[in-house]
Each structure stands twice: as structure tokens, then as C-alpha cells.
Structure 1
């Protein structure tokens, strides 16, 4: 029997070298997991390159799980957040532009980006009535979010239809909804499926991952103002600094009720803002001295009755007014928190007057 030819030997050598070669993504797992003394955070460029590989599907599942959990333990830096968002935005914008072009539609122009990824558990999603009120007065809002990743929570996507707010399933639908009613919600699975896949790993890994954080900074329509909320107070600083790195001229991040963009009237509120490209911290006092009890059951009908003036809800109405006031400040439509509260109260009280006066003048 003849032995292996030189060609066969060369092939076997090359195959073994290939099988033993380090995967390109391994370097990023190693940077994060090399131990207490040797591990470090990713630079902005490294984070951007790592996320670009992830959204392109170039990472093995075991690598992705290790990467996300190492970040979760370490907690992501502002540079990592900004780099992740930069890569994700490139993928999102490619899908968005292609979808709008195929539908023969122009770019979507909005005034405010609003993320909704947490879901509500203790209180109603009163922020949705704040959004409805703002849109009624001409503020164009693009909302994006995810649902179903954590049990026992009421998610935005499920509530929107009952409030006559558009839950869209494509960029073309979102374009029409903005044009007709100043509002559109698009799930993150339509923005970039890989981001949604990572969010849905919550039930498999048992923990939320950094994806829940970075999605709040996506601003898929390049809105001039960005509203964000976090659940853990320490993340306010990271989001503010990441917004600066991303070049967002005007943004606001708060510890929102349940992690959604909603001011809790039972506590003080620190708004970490970016105003004309500069960091600004703003303290808002508590509205109520005593805490309100959580709701026993969340029903859309209650929110509708409050909107139509058929039912009073002390906590809910002040949550709406407080959230509107924060938004007015972010949109530079009020010069102080006090004036923003007065203006927001007036808007709420006059919500059924017609026609509604536009808050933002358009050329």
C-alpha cells in the first residue's frame, strides 16, 4: 500500500493548522476574562468591532454566552456601550434604508427617540399616556423596544393598540404612522434580529445582558433628542457619557419606574442630561411625600378611563405630568423644571381641547 503523498501530507498539515487556529472573536472574550489582574474593559474600537462580528453572525454561541456574561459581571463601560451601539447602528441603518428604498419612501424624520425595553410590573405604563399627549401636540416620537423576555411584566407592544398608538411591524408601517399620528413603535426584532435574539437569551442565561442596556441608546432614526431610562441608578452616568461619545446633542437618562421612561412621583429624580453636547445634571424633587401601593392588577381599561377623564388616579396622573415635564426639558421647550411642570400640567388638563396647539414649530 502506498503511503500518503506529499500533497496529502500538506493538506493534513493545513487542516490541522486551521482546526487549531484561534477564532477571531476569542481575543475579545480573553480581554474580558483573563483574570483579576489581567482582564480589562474593551476600548471603544474593540467594542465596535466585537459587536460588528456579533450582528454579522460571525460568533459561535458559546463565545457569545461567555462574552455577554463576562460583561454582565464586570458591568459595561461608557466606551464599550458607545462602541456596541456604533456597530449596531450601522447594521440597523442598512436594513432601514434598504426597506424604505424598496417601499419608495423617504427617510423618517422625528423629534424624539424613546426606548421601551423593561416592561411594567408594579404600576401601569403611564408613560404611554405621556407619549400620547405629546404626539397630540405635534411631537413626533419613534419608540423601539422588546417584549416577552421577562415573566410577569406588561410590555409596551401589548398595550399600544388599546391606546390607539401604532405598534408597527415594518419600516414602511412606521413611516406611515409617523406621518399620520406622530408616533410609531417598532420592535427591536425588526431593527436588527440579532439584538432581539440576544435579549431573548434572558430566560436561558438567567440574567439580563448588556444588550438590554445598549438598545436604549440606539436612536435608529437619528432623532435630535433621546429619552432613556435605567433601573439601576449607577447606569445613569454610563448612559450620559455614552451619549456624549455617540455625539447625541440632547439626551436625558433617569432611573425610571420599573426601568421605563417614566418619572416616579413618589421619589426624587436625578436627570442626567446632555444639553447642546454638554453634560448637565438636574435634580427634580419628589411630588408625593408618601409612597403609593403597587397595583394588584394591571388593566388597559383603567388607563383609558383616566385619559378620558372618567376616573381619577392620583399617582398615574402625576406620573404622566412628571414624564411630560422631563420630556419638555429634553426638547428644550421649557427653561426650568418648575416651568416644565406648569406647562405639562396645563397640557394634561387641556388634553381634550381641540384643536391641539403644536409644541414644535415646523418650517
Structure 2
């Protein structure tokens, strides 16, 4: 079937249109990713689904096609998949980078990947945190072997998908591609942690991860849509682990401030790690986020144990910095 055939299924009109099955969605996204669908058809499909709202079958099928498309990255040995695709306008500094460093220092291999608007939201901070940017699987393996942590730009994972995100400038809206990228898990890590900005997407991503065979997935409404725990709020943890669903995470502080109200000085990110700047809220954000990631990996049986583990990692971080 051509891409036009799948558009006819979802856009035929009231009483005649229906959602795509998972198999149909996977095939339709395959046409989008291999470039056999005309640009007009791609826009028509994505915006029709945006107007109606995507189903679990559609998100699962689309994410499955993305995994097929990124197959060459599945040779990587990765414990934790950490997607980062938010624009950063509603959040402060990326404290979760320090959380990822702690998880890597616990002995896990962590793969960050993403595209963050103009990328000032994340990539400009990577070098100072010793996080290598890898363009190939070989370079990613070398970085993981060296420090346990690597960042893969979306354009290295899939140039075609980067172009799909750029359609927002022409269509005026985001599409389900943003959601599917969070579920893509390019390296096939056994565990994935994901953030959302809009809570209804948690269930869609949870279902897709389960159907696509991820051993564990944790999805939260995080800071600016990233996987980042706000320490002043209780966090609802969606997803599944080896023994079932996650319990929710209580607030760590009695402090409801916004993330943007912590600091706007980029130097504070490194200064917090180095111990030359102190801020209880920022530190609680780092440790709380790391604890959720450690818990999802099965490093600790309970969230309380994971929080204590994160605190111990922080206390010994000075001798175990990223390469």
C-alpha cells in the first residue's frame, strides 16, 4: 500500500475514517522514513492524526518503524536509554545531566539522545560535563567504554527524522514524531526513562514500550517535558518494571518554585557538581532524578533505597568524574 492509502483510512470523513492498526501504522511510518511518501502526504498524515489524537496502536506502530529505521544502533551495549527532546523554554538548567552522570558512575551505560529545539537547551552544556557527542555507533561505544555516558544527536540517529521535526516550521504544530522519538530506544536498552510535558501522553508511551518489548520503562511529567523530577512535587510514575507498575514518588522538599526560578547562570551547573555553588533545590532535583533512574534499572528494590544510593554517589563524585 502507498502512503496515500493509509491517509485515506484516517481521513476519509465522519463515519468512514478509522484509526490505523499497529501493523498499518508501522507500514505507513516506514513509507515516511524511507522517503517514498510525498511531502504533501507526510504532512497530511501527521496533521490528521494531530487533529484527531493518536491511538496506542498508532504510536506503537510508528515507534516500531523508528526502531527498524535506527537498526544499526542496536549493536550498542546500553543499560539505560534517556531521550531528551524538549525545547527547554519552560524549564531551567538541565540538572538531569548531573543525574545521568551519577547513574553512569554507578556502573551503568547511559545513552542520552535527542534534539532540543535549537539545542542550546542541552548540547551547549555537554562538554563541561564531560559528555561526549558521538556521531557513529563505534564512537558511541568508545565513549560508553570510557565514561559510561554518551549523547547521540538525532541527526546521527536519523537524518530523515530530523527533517520530520523541522516540518513544524511549515505546519505550525508539532506531530506525533516527538512522542515516538521518546519511545524509539535506538540501542535497544533494557530500560528507558522518559519525560512528557502533557500528562495524557504518559499512557501512550507506556503502552508502546510494553508492546515493543522493553523490560522496564518509567515515564513521568518532568521539568519542561524532560525526565527530571521536580523535588517540590509528588511525581506520578507511569510504566512498568520487571515486577509490575511503579509506585509514585513523593515530594522531597516543601518548595513549589518553578525550575526557571532556581538560577539562570549556566556556570552553576558545573559549580554544583564541583561543590563551589550550593543550592538545596537544585541538588534535590539532581538526586531525586538519579534515584528514579537507578530505581528503574533495578539497582535498588525501593525508591527510598535508590534515594540513599544517589546520595552516596553524590558524596563520592569528586573522585569519579566523567572522562
TM bin, normalised by shorter chain, reads over 0.9
Whole-angstrom distance in 2 between the partners of 1:345 and 1:203? 43
How has the CA–CA distance of structure 1 residues 296 and 256 changed in structure 2, closer, same or farther, with 3 Å as cutoff?
closer
How has the CA–CA distance of structure 1 residues 245 and 313 changed in structure 2, closer, same or farther, with 3 Å as cutoff?
same
Shift of 1:184: 1.2
Give yes or no for the alignment of 1:32 onto 2:10. yes
Structure 2: stretches of 5+ with no match in the other structure: none
Give yes or no for the alignment of 1:286 onto 2:251. yes
**What pairs with 1:1-363 in structure 2 (closer than 5 Å)?**
24-94=2-72, 96=73, 107-121=75-89, 122-148=91-117, 154-276=120-242, 279-293=244-258, 294-295=260-261, 298-353=264-319
Question: TM-score of the superposition, structure 2-length normalised?
Answer: 0.93
| Structure label with greater radius of gyration | 1
Structure 1: stretches of 5+ with no match in the other structure: 1-22, 98-106, 357-363
Shift of 1:298: 3.3
Q: 1:264 aligns to what SS in structure 2?
A: coil
Deviation per residue, 1:206-262 (Å, 9 max, x gap): 211100000011111111111111111111111111111101111111111100110
Deviation per residue, 1:140-173 (Å, 9 max, x gap): 1111101336xxx742222211211111222222
Whole-angstrom distance in 1 between the partners of 2:145 and 2:314? 23
Aligned length: 320
Whole-angstrom distance in 1 between the partners of 2:321 and 2:249? 31
Whole-angstrom distance in 2 between the partners of 1:142 and 1:355? 17
Q: 1:233 aligns to what SS in structure 2?
A: coil
> Cα RMSD (Å) of the superposition?
2.0
Whole-angstrom distance in 1 between the partners of 2:94 and 2:265? 10
CA contact (8 A) 1:240 1:279 kept: no
Q: 1:69 aligns to what SS in structure 2?
A: helix
How has the CA–CA distance of structure 1 residues 75 and 185 changed in structure 2, closer, same or farther, with 3 Å as cutoff?
same
Higher relative contact order (CA 8 A, sep 6+): 2
Shift of 1:341: 1.6
